[in-house]
Amino acid sequence: MERIFGVETEFGCLSDESLGTQEEVVEGIKDTVFFDLKLGAIDLHSRDDVFEPAQCGGFLLNGGRMYIDAVGSHLEFATAECRSLKDLVANDRAGQRLIVRAVKELGLEGQVSVYNNSVDHFGGHTFGCHENYLVRADSDLLSDSVQAFYPFLVTRQVFAGVGRVGGHILTGGLRPSYQEVMENPIDYIWVSQVYGVIADDSVPFQLSQRADHILKTIASRVRFNRALINPKWEHFYSHDGMTRLHLLFGESNQNEYAYALKMGTTALVLSLIEDRCAPDIRLAQPLAALREVSRDQTYKWIVALEDGGTISAVDLQREYLKAAQRYKGRSEDNDWILREWESTLDGLERDPMSLGDRIDWVAKRQIVERYMAAEGLDWSSDALHSIDLEYHNIDPSASLYHALEEMGEVRRIVSDVEIVDATTEPPPDTRAKGRGMMVREVLRRKGPRFYMFDWNGVAMDRNTYVEMPDPFETYEEVA
């Protein structure tokens, strides 16, 4: 596919109270990656005085970026720019392995756990897994064209959802208290109102961890105002009439197959929209459909259309699949996506619970139900939230998902060897390669006094700046 994509994942952290605050723990993990393991070049400059001050993170040897997000003080990893699904999955998993390695280097195994889940069952918080796609910067991208995107986006959770026990109800329209603002001032910059969260016991299990928290289709300020799409117009993502589409609705798949299928199908649907070939389908209420599909215990997943009709999520997805057949034969990735998209929809139609090897929400539900049967519990037990959480532990030695992987019960996209290689090697066919080479050069120097890395350029010293505007170029000849 002639498209650049990447993913940003926010990680949750649980740590022993004796280690100090969780903010101190994640700072220690970040510092270990850059200063002890020397796997990246820490920022010497402030990218943003408030949200990204100096030394809050930096670019890695593998072309990705690890940093502390000031809002919530959580660890975040942004993959390098990728052009193939395999490179994307490997780079993403490599970011997780670097975090696990840092925890071990600190000697904190058993005391610190890091998760790529997207919801805090008890605190009511939700964490992002944001997708980025390079798309044509059409003038109607976020007005008319996007209407053809919503039906696909809100129903792809039938194969892309990671599943969650229970639900949340938002109680909105509140103003943050003075004490809240004083205790966490960065969290409330540009925030005029907040919402409360209460548990919803009416739903035992649903497909999506994020669906209950999405309030808008499109929004620029998304703290307590989360949207499906968050417009981003930064110049370093724009090139030759293209720009960055930043999706907020999504969650971090543990299953590599689901991860690749989510990204691949979304990329093809964006191509349909760009080529004006997307199915003429409009939902009556996209956000209502989002929650209805997530919470439907019958797995019929019926959504209402703008014209007054209805359609199942699986049949709706088939309409996009049918239209996307025009891209068959153009690349190995395209052919894999089309083949596996169809296979997965067939499986969902026959028996969703037969797809535990490739869909996270199915695998998680099966684990939870086995635990319930073994312990004699019902869906009201708080213990189920812990099972839900441990599915997302990124440490292969502790994760419930990785236990399935160890037993050969899930489909893989990359091997462990390829993941290890991707911890230090960037994708070979994007500008991440040249950036990774320059990170390596900086790390060879003894006490470099000045350098500056960004997505679209690198200053190696005060006199040498390498522009990298084209994400499809490797820039290895100037690295």
Q: pLDDT by residue (tens digit) across 77-99?
A: 999 999 999 999 999 999 999 99
pLDDT in tens, 411-439: 999 999 999 999 999 999 999 999 999 99
Cβ(12)–Cβ(117) below 8 Å: yes
- Inform me whether the pLDDT recorded for 193 exceeds 70: no
Give percent of the chain above pLDDT 70.
95
Helices (H), 184-312: 256-274, 286-295
With a CB cutoff of 8 Å and minimum separation 6, the contacts of 376 are: none
For position 231, what pLDDT does the model report? Answer: 81
For position 178, what pLDDT does the model report? Answer: 77
Strands 227-229 and 216-218, bridge-based pairing: parallel
pLDDT in tens, 201-223: 899 999 999 999 998 898 876 56
Cβ(476)–Cβ(434) below 8 Å: yes
Confidence class for position 283, pLDDT limits 50, 70, 90: very high
For position 237, what pLDDT does the model report? Answer: 63
For position 192, what pLDDT does the model report? Answer: 60
Q: What amino acid positions are annotated as catalytic residues?
A: 69
pLDDT in tens, 360-380: 999 999 999 999 999 999 999
Residue 465, SS3 per DSSP? strand
- Average pLDDT, integer, range 149-154: 97
Four-CA torsion 337, 343, 349, 353, nearest 10 degrees: -100
With a CB cutoff of 8 Å and minimum separation 6, the contacts of 255 are: 358, 359, 360, 363, 401, 410, 411
For position 168, what pLDDT does the model report? Answer: 93
Give percent of the chain above pLDDT 90.
79
